[in-house]
Amino acid sequence: MRTSATAVLTGAAAVLALTGCSGLSFRDDICAGGEYPVMTVGATGSACVKDGEKVPEGYTRYPEGKVPQKVDDEWDVYWRTHTVDEEGDIVDAPETD
């Protein structure tokens, strides 16, 4: 009887851990391994570029220390309303309809 009670408690703990009730939060990476994020110049678009490849035309690297790493992290949220202009200055993103 003790064995089945232990199994039930162990199973319940596993379910709680897997459903997020354990207090841990998991978020998706912005880019896959072997890639780095870039942003659209003058807009809020973004893309991922393979390590070692050049930044595509119309995109730029995120400013140092302001690179989003996870979906909905501080910088991912910030760059939804900000962008970098042609001179490399951080500005408010243009309004979209």
pLDDT band at 39 (very low <50, low <70, confident <90, very high): very high
How high is the mean pLDDT of the chain? 83
pLDDT band at 26 (very low <50, low <70, confident <90, very high): confident
pLDDT band at 13 (very low <50, low <70, confident <90, very high): very low
pTM: 0.71
Strands (E), 51-97: 59-61, 82-84, 90-92
| Spatial CA neighbour of 70 closest among 32, 27, 40 | 27
